[in-house]
Amino acid sequence: MAGSMELNRIGFRVLFLIAMALPGFAAEYAVVVSRRTMDDAGWKGVADALVAKHRASVVIYDGEVAEVLPELKRQFPRYVCFVAQPGEAGRRFVEQVHQATRRLDDDPYTDCFWGILTGYDAANALRIARCDSPLTIHKAVGGTEIALQCCDEGVWYSESRQGCMVRKEKGREPQATNCSPDTTKELVTSLTEYKADLFVTSGHATERDWQIGYSYRNGQFRCEKGELFGLDMKGARYPVRSPNPKVYLAVGNCLMGHIDGPDAMALAFLNSGGVNQMIGYTVATWYGYAGWGCLAYFLEQPGRYSLTEAFFANHAALIHLLQLPDLSSEDKQGLLYDRDTVAFYGDPAWEARMAGHDTAWEQKLTEHKGEYTLEIRPKRGVESFNAVNGNGARRGGRPIVQFLRHRVRNIELVEGMEFAPVVTDNFVLIPNIPGRELRGACRVRFRADRI
């Protein structure tokens, strides 16, 4: 058996070396995986699927994730996917991934788009790894208030006012209406029959349940052996078997992203919930910046960012605030608490994006002979850069983030210094700090060499 496993490893490496020799091969995607996981035939198949889909390199470690840093620095990939069995993907693992992916170069920001690809079992993870059709989100469902004006259609159920919901039908404005005081069945149906593309939750939760009502008594979502189900206040059980690909943003829940064993809620959402990408806290929520802010980029600027990009942009915003000299001690403590505690599960190169709708400003990046120009044009006057929706914690004040199509170096700022832009090798950030918000059009120009 040991000889067979060794042969498998050699064969895998040979295939990768052959791929690298092919014309036009570029290892912009790296798969990071433990040797223990590569020695498991089922989980090795997950890594193989990612290599085949993305023409990826493979980096194997024996002990801690930090072991891969020298090789990742050498490759400097645009995407890194950490394939992990559930027993590996706990809170400490998420923290280590955050820290490692900020250390590929000398700036304080995350240096690649990353995701942790796991699942209830190898078959679940393989389904996610093999999915290559992008997702355009038309139907959004929230167990908390979301900005339905930015969606094609959807519904949200209030977590603070019992019997209150808001629905938007396609082509119409959102309308408030009444609903059952116990919304368990309705929320299950939104996944199984309505077939939501996006699911957003907040409120009380643990690794074993989501308590639907925040300030009133309601039903629950629970899980068992990788199967998600709703449990209403009368004890009726509603199974969640929702195979359509979707994304799940547990923006305000405690512990929903923490995989502490086979019966973790995150695994059930990835399995019977049909979730391909998910964000969630691995700790009890407090400050909220790293979770709620993802809505500002993903849902409230519809079509501008993929979920991967939105997660990255919000994290860049968090890191930027931590660099400010006048940051209050409370804000610094809160941002540090959030910095390494929100997990991103799924293939980071898989694209899930909101269907396009009107945005509050235009942003356009052009490049000519090594000179880059980012122009921002507000479309709603002085309100353009305000928060779209106030539900949640630490809303508003998110900077403008523009990703570059390729990495750059030797950056020289030419115009727009008054906006205090941050230009890194792969993105531009223009601050929009509360109390010092952007008020009008702005333009940033810089020169740089392609890497």
* Residue ranges covered by each domain of the chain: 2-117, 135-298+349-354, 361-450
Contact between 201 and 143 (Cβ < 8 Å): yes
Task: Please give the helix or strand (H or E) that residue 112 lies within, else none.
Answer: none
In whole angstroms, what is the distance from residue 7 CA to residue 180 CA?
59
In whole angstroms, what is the distance from residue 305 CA to residue 298 CA?
6
Question: Residue 156 carries which side chain, given as an amino acid letter?
Answer: W
Of the candidates 82, 60, 52, the one whose C-alpha atom is nearest the C-alpha of residue 344 is 82
Owner of token pair 């498991």: 40
Q: How far is CA 293 from CA 114, 300, 342, 397, 435, in A?
A: 18, 10, 12, 9, 18
Of the candidates 107, 165, 79, the one whose C-alpha atom is nearest the C-alpha of residue 349 is 79
In whole angstroms, what is the distance from residue 97 CA to residue 257 CA?
14
Q: How far is CA 50 from CA 25, 57, 108, 249, 310, in A?
A: 15, 9, 28, 23, 22
In whole angstroms, what is the distance from residue 391 CA to residue 273 CA?
25
Find the length of the chain.
Answer: 451
Residue 436 tokens, joined:
């010092």
User: Which stretches in the chain have pLDDT values below 70?
Assistant: 1-27
First to last CA, the chain: 44
**pLDDT score for 434:** 75
In whole angstroms, what is the distance from residue 340 CA to residue 200 CA?
21
CATH fold label, 2-117:
Rossmann fold (3.40.50)
Of the candidates 152, 435, 100, the one whose C-alpha atom is nearest the C-alpha of residue 303 is 152
In whole angstroms, what is the distance from residue 405 CA to residue 397 CA?
25
**pLDDT score for 5:** 39
**pLDDT score for 153:** 98
Of the candidates 151, 145, 141, 198, the one whose C-alpha atom is nearest the C-alpha of residue 173 is 151
Task: Please give the helix or strand (H or E) that residue 105 lies within, else none.
Answer: none
In whole angstroms, what is the distance from residue 258 CA to residue 148 CA?
28
Q: Which residues contact 368 (CB under 8 A, 6 or more apart)?
A: none
Contact between 308 and 103 (Cβ < 8 Å): no
Task: Please give the helix or strand (H or E) that residue 165 lies within, else none.
Answer: strand 164-168
What does DSSP assign to residue 265?
H
What is the CA angle 280-241-310, rounded to 5? 30
Of the candidates 406, 443, 411, 405, the one whose C-alpha atom is nearest the C-alpha of residue 424 is 411
Q: Give the Cβ contact number of residue 424 at 10 Å.
A: 18
pTM: 0.93
Contact between 201 and 250 (Cβ < 8 Å): yes
Collapsing DSSP states into helix, strand and coil, what is residue 21?
helix
In whole angstroms, what is the distance from residue 301 CA to residue 361 CA?
9
Residue 370 tokens, joined:
């090594």
What is the CA angle 101-274-162, rounded to 5? 100
**Residues forming a β-bridge with 365:** 374
In whole angstroms, what is the distance from residue 322 CA to residue 202 CA?
25
Of the candidates 250, 244, 235, the one whose C-alpha atom is nearest the C-alpha of residue 345 is 250
